[in-house]
Structure 1
Amino acid sequence: MKRARIGLFAAVIASAIAAPLVFAEATKTPDSSAAAADSSSKASPIYGVTLPEGYRQWQLVAPATEGAPLNEIRAVVGNDIAIKAYKEGTLPFPDGTVLTKLAWKHVQSTELGSAAVPGAATTVQVMVKDSVKYKDSGGWGFGRFVNGQPVDVKQHETCLACHQSRVKDHDLVFTRWAP
């Protein structure tokens, strides 16, 4: 059991560093600011969040797994503002904080026995803190992307309600710092 957990943790860390090719195109955005609003088709509905440039090189905040029905391995990364806030225990998170969650299907390794490894990429989800722009949503803008494209409005409508109902006392952020 301990060996499996170590293998899973190693797989999550490795996947946070070495990205699957499906995400490579998604990191290229014309705007150099972190997840700036954009009126193009690359922006999320409702919030106008885009994929932040260079997010694949950001520091790991924490790995996670999700059981059925999603069965995913996840890695949350943050920009420099997010990392500083986590390290200092700053709540609420300051404006300019950007958190990005990358997710892959949870697959049994063919080489590592009982270990799990990332399979196909599923989504990239982004949270952007701007207390003025997103004042009606707790200061956060949300974006969900599959293959570099934002998903439909209906999926974005669930973001805020889920975060408000479950992590209101942690500035709407699920992920805790993994020391």
Structure 2
Amino acid sequence: MSEKINYYRRRYMRRIALLLVAIVMLTSVVVCIVPPFRHADGQTAPVFGGKIPPGYRDWPLISVAREKGSLNDIRAKLGNDVALEAYRQEKLPFPDGTIIARLAWNYVPSEENDKAFGDFQSFVAGSPKEGVQFMVKDSRKYASTGGWGFAQFNDGKPTNVAVNSCFSCHAIVKDRDFVFTHYAP
């Protein structure tokens, strides 16, 4: 009997592993092919008095996450070279110049993938959610929020997201320099 249970347990674990690999692969493909948000004149939107970091869509993937509840999305976290180096060296606090981008998509079932797997189990990124968000480390400029500035852009335009509302959620991970995302090499 236990041999049969082990067989089903291994089968279930393989399906979960395949699902996770499919989500990561799909998210990576979407991140690479979806163009950055731009104004009609082709210029990127301003951030913190400047511009959205050029080429952020080409930054390396830090990690992927699946959020349940009211968010119900799949997220990709990207980082600039400074962020990636800090993650790889496990350097905390993050150095000034670190920029982390968050992209999110609706979480939707994939009938095509389910047919390939032979079971209702596959979910993929759907339409984008909540634009793109950034965390920028500048310990002097953003001293009141742990050294981090926060911004959100919808359709390439800055939103009026209150910095304190972002920071209040991030405060619970103060011991990780206010960053939720763990590096997934």
Partners of 1:150 and 1:13 in 2: CA distance: 29
User: Offset at 1:16?
Assistant: 2.8
Aligned-residue Cα RMSD (Å) equals: 2.4
Deviations 1:70-117 (A, max 9, x none): 110011011111111001010000011110011000000021111110
Corresponding residue for residue 15 of structure 1: 27
Deviates more, 1:131-140 or 1:86-95: 131-140
Corresponding residue for residue 64 of structure 2: 63
Residue 116 (str. 1) matches residue 123 (str. 2): yes
Q: Provide the identity percentage.
A: 42
CA 1:64–1:25: 2 relative to 1, 3 Å: closer
SS in 2 for 1:26: coil
CA 1:172–1:109: 2 relative to 1, 3 Å: same
Corresponding residue for residue 87 of structure 2: 86
2:139 counterpart (118, 128, 131): 131
The answer as to whether partners of 2:65 and 2:74 remain within 8 angstroms in 1 is yes
Q: Which has the larger radius of gyration?
A: 2
The answer as to whether partners of 2:38 and 2:155 remain within 8 angstroms in 1 is no
**Of Structure 1 and Structure 2, which has the larger fraction of its residues in helix?**
2
Deviates more, 1:84-93 or 1:12-21: 12-21
Where in structure 2 are there 5+ consecutive unaligned residues? 1-11, 115-120
TM-score, length of structure 2 as denominator length:
0.78
- In the TM superposition, 1:22-171 aligns within 5 A as 24-26=35-37, 42-43=45-46, 47-48=48-49, 50-113=51-114, 114-123=121-130, 124-154=132-162, 156-164=163-171, 166-171=172-177
Partners of 2:72 and 2:88 in 1: CA distance: 29
Q: Which amino acid aligns with 1:57?
A: D
Partners of 2:98 and 2:31 in 1: CA distance: 22
Partners of 2:159 and 2:177 in 1: CA distance: 24
Partners of 1:105 and 1:20 in 2: CA distance: 17
Partners of 1:117 and 1:5 in 2: CA distance: 15
The answer as to whether partners of 1:26 and 1:51 remain within 8 angstroms in 2 is no
SS in 2 for 1:56: helix
Partners of 2:19 and 2:68 in 1: CA distance: 17
Q: Which amino acid aligns with 2:127?
A: A
User: Offset at 1:143?
Assistant: 0.8
The answer as to whether partners of 2:62 and 2:84 remain within 8 angstroms in 1 is yes
Partners of 1:175 and 1:27 in 2: CA distance: 26
